[in-house]
Structure 1
Amino acid sequence: MNVLSLFDLKADQIHHVLKMAATIKAHPSGYLNVLKGKSIAMLFEKPSLRTRVTFEVGIQQMGGHAIYLDQKMIEPGGRESIQDIANNLSLWTDAIVARVFKHETLKELAGSKIPVINALCDIHHPCQTLADLLTIQERYPVDLRVVDILYLGEGNNVCQSFMVGAAALGLKLTVVTPEGYGPTPEIWQGIDEVYPNHNIRVINDLSEVQHADVVYTDTWVSMGSSMSDKEAVDVFGHLQVNQDLIERLQATTFLHCLPAHRGHEVTDEVLDGPISAVLQQAENRLYVQKALLHEVFNG
């Protein structure tokens, strides 16, 4: 079972992973041997704090062994082809967790005989979305379909994965992004085909939004982007999450996948303020990834 995007999980599987994550969080001692005897290759082309640490700690806590392989160590597609790397890893390890520049790399890795989990690529970030959804569930223990969620910024990998997750759970989501910076047509097509009754809209004018319970943003300049800080401010500056916006929308939760560029997409006052759930999100990365590994091997 590969998880290259949330499209690889049915809606009931996403619900199951979130329920499992909540259970693991509440009763971690019951899952100490889930990965006993298993070795997980962690293939990382891009730097990481939260993703690397939470996967390594989670694998260890469930009795498994994580093997970290970075860009310099194996040079995917350079010193050795992706296919050869995948085929070799499948001889020694039980799964691959990959954080890569291009989604195509994940597809090549998925040609191996062992499961592949997307730990971030240019199109999707499913592990982050699972943590986001768990965080929202914890903060709003009601029917989540009545929670108004607002995403501000570029229609990047975080945004696109969150859209898929929101569609799967039937959440009400508004994405505000400058014209020309929205999610790809392929993402829209996938959502429309799999979840035709979704409640997601993408608009360009923030003034159209009068209320939001949850406000979510991400860095304006994604890792590897050629856009300068000045260009980013020119394009996205009007979407900054500050206290005035929070008060106007009467928001009660602020989300950010981190790392944050303080003073750009969000002010210190909001990021460190009482409605910020960014550390809760970061903590929940551990539990949703443990649940996802459980699903991959035992689902």
Structure 2
Amino acid sequence: MFHGPWQRHKDLVSIHDLSAEEVEALFQLAANVKARPERYRTALSGQTLAMIFEKSSTRTRVSFEVGMYQLGGLATFLSSRDIQIGRGETIEDTAKVLSRYVNGIMARTFAHATVTDLAKYATVPVINGLTDLLHPCQALTDYFTARERFGTIKGLTLAYVGDGNNMAHSLMLGGPKAGMNVRVASPEGYKPKPAIVELAKQDAATAGTTVEVVTRPEDAVRGAHVVYTDVFASMGQEAEAQVRLKAFAGYQVTPELMETADKEAIFMHCLPCHRGEEVA
């Protein structure tokens, strides 16, 4: 029931690892599951997903737990207090042991290396639920949502305004695979990592789309079909919050900024949002 071209990929660590055809197949599968959920109620029967959470989350935990349940599987939650990583046990040992118990591992961590090491040593699929570098599941979901809204997103433009963080990185990497152009506006000192920008531009050149990084929000949003933002200070950056608020002055998504976007444009946020800060 889940046969598709993406199956040769054991893990989902970065959208860069997927082809445009695989992303389209995932979108089509998601649409099918939403349209006919009763057909998929036993699709993961007897399967167990281990969920490692170094970073807490409302949406990530609920979506994976409920998703596994609705597909007939089971999800088991492991907080940083429940696992031994950081208290002497190596990631290699953790990955190998969990692989003996479960059918897949989803990890939401701080260091990106934690997920890449889990994927390296696990013998079951590993899903990146978020790292400080990337947030692929969120970006894929957002592109799917845009696809639902517009029917097709090929050739449309997504504008991201704010911190050049994991969300910006995955949206940049996802745009070429979904067929969208991406423009990112961030202040100096907070722009996306150059290595990610270069990778996204290479993928865009192959796909026939564009990826741009600018400084002025207006330059990103003008004519865009999707306007996206995220918090100015992510989890783990609380000590920088006041400094970041000053740095991101002028980067709030306001009704006035939205007026410069396409007349049918939609606003998106990965949540949680801080109203009055990154969004009016």
TM over 0.5: yes
* Post-superposition offset of 1:112: 1.4
Q: 1:293 is matched with which residue?
A: none
* Post-superposition offset of 1:250: 4.7
Q: Is the 8 A contact 2:135 2:166 kept in 1?
A: yes
Q: 2:278 is matched with which residue?
A: 265
Query: What amino acid does structure 2 have at the position aligned with 1:266?
Result: V
* Post-superposition offset of 1:192: 3.5
Instruction: Indicate the percent of aligned positions where both proteins have the same amino acid.
Output: 39
Correspondences of 1:87-126 after superposition (within 5 Å)? 87-110=96-119, 111-126=121-136
Q: Is the 8 A contact 1:3 1:116 kept in 2?
A: yes
Residue 251 of structure 2 corresponds to residue 230 of structure 1: no
* Post-superposition offset of 1:226: 4.8
* Post-superposition offset of 1:50: 0.3
Q: Is the 8 A contact 2:200 2:211 kept in 1?
A: no
Q: 1:62 is matched with which residue?
A: 71
Query: What amino acid does structure 2 have at the position aligned with 1:48?
Result: S
Q: Is the 8 A contact 2:182 2:212 kept in 1?
A: yes
TM-score scaled by structure 2?
0.90
Residue 156 of structure 2: which of 147, 153, 160 is its match?
A: 147
Query: Any gaps of 5 or more consecutive residues in structure 1?
Result: 268-299
Q: How many residues align?
A: 266
* Post-superposition offset of 1:221: 0.3
Q: Distance in 2 between matches of 1:192 and 1:246?
A: 26
Residue 45 of structure 2 corresponds to residue 36 of structure 1: yes
SS at match of 1:248: coil
Q: Distance in 1 between matches of 2:241 and 2:131?
A: 22
Q: Is the 8 A contact 2:201 2:211 kept in 1?
A: no
* Post-superposition offset of 1:130: 1.1
Q: 1:245 is matched with which residue?
A: 257
Residue 145 of structure 2 corresponds to residue 135 of structure 1: yes
SS at match of 1:241: coil
Query: Any gaps of 5 or more consecutive residues in structure 2?
Result: 1-9
TM-score scaled by structure 1?
0.85
Moved more, 215-224 or 242-251: 242-251
Query: What amino acid does structure 1 have at the position aligned with 2:22?
Result: Q
* Post-superposition offset of 1:79: 3.9
Per-residue deviation, residues 22-54 of structure 1 (Å, max 9, x unmatched) = 111111111111111111111111101000000
SS at match of 1:264: coil
Q: Distance in 2 between matches of 1:222 and 1:17?
A: 28
Structure with the largest fraction of helix: 1
Q: Distance in 1 between matches of 2:240 and 2:116?
A: 30
Residue 2 of structure 1: which of 11, 24, 49 is its match?
A: 11
Q: Is the 8 A contact 1:153 1:217 kept in 2?
A: yes
Question: Residue 250 and residue 8 in structure 1: after superposition, are their counterparts in 2 closer, same or farther (change >3 A)?
Answer: closer
Q: Distance in 2 between matches of 1:167 and 1:74?
A: 37
Query: What amino acid does structure 2 have at the position aligned with 1:214?
Result: V
Q: Distance in 1 between matches of 2:261 and 2:209?
A: 23
Q: Distance in 1 between matches of 2:44 and 2:272?
A: 29
Higher relative contact order (CA 8 A, sep 6+): 1
* Post-superposition offset of 1:9: 1.4
Q: What RMSD in Å do the two structures reach over aligned CA positions?
A: 1.5
* Post-superposition offset of 1:176: 0.5
SS at match of 2:160: strand
Residue 198 of structure 1: which of 209, 226, 237 is its match?
A: 209
Q: Is the 8 A contact 1:149 1:215 kept in 2?
A: yes
SS at match of 1:188: helix
Q: 2:172 is matched with which residue?
A: 163
